[in-house]
Amino acid sequence: MKPYVIIVAVLIGVIGASFYKTFQEKKPWPVPDNYKTMKNPVASNAESIADGKELWGQHCKSCHGAKGMGDGPKASQLKTEPGDFSKADIQSQSDGSFFYKLSEGREDMPSFKKKIADADERWSIVNYMRTFKK
């Protein structure tokens, strides 16, 4: 086989993988209505944000990055894009939506209902996620 044929085949594979990843990151994540309107029962204060930051470092940072930009060391190994939580379209989601996604998970994103059994701790992570605004 000629070298240029191999190069073209590799380029087609890389481009195809890129399109696949782009398609995956656009996949909607439906949230039940009762979660969309759910209010965060944990006050967003220095203590809650510090607790959320610590939990984020233990459970979320490896994929989502230190500042929620989707640039954690494991991000490139994921089938789905971990997202940039500093973007307005993400930050516009309700606290209840964040809580639902964190609790239930999907695909590469694990459920944290059992790993972080205390709901208030998951709510503190939501409070910390709000600090990612640009």
Mind listing the pLDDT tens digit for each residue in 70-116? 999 999 999 988 999 999 999 999 999 999 999 999 999 999 999 99
Name the residue ranges covered by the structural domains of the chain: 28-132
Global pTM reads 0.80
Looking at per-residue confidence, does 8 or 33 come out higher? Answer: 33
Confidence tier at 121 by pLDDT (50, 70, 90): very high
Whether the pLDDT of residue 1 is over 70: the answer is: no
Contacts (Cβ under 8 Å, ≥6 apart) of 25: 80, 81, 83
Confidence tier at 27 by pLDDT (50, 70, 90): confident
User: What's the CATH number of domain 28-132, 1.10.760.10, 3.40.190.10, 2.40.160.20, 1.20.210.10?
Assistant: 1.10.760.10
Whether the pLDDT of residue 61 is over 80: the answer is: yes
Surface-to-core class of residue 62, CB atoms within 10 Å of its CB (0-12 exposed, 13-18 middle, 19+ buried)? middle
Nearest to 49 by CA among 121, 116, 114: 121
- Lowest model confidence (mean pLDDT) among 6-15, 55-64, 109-118: 6-15
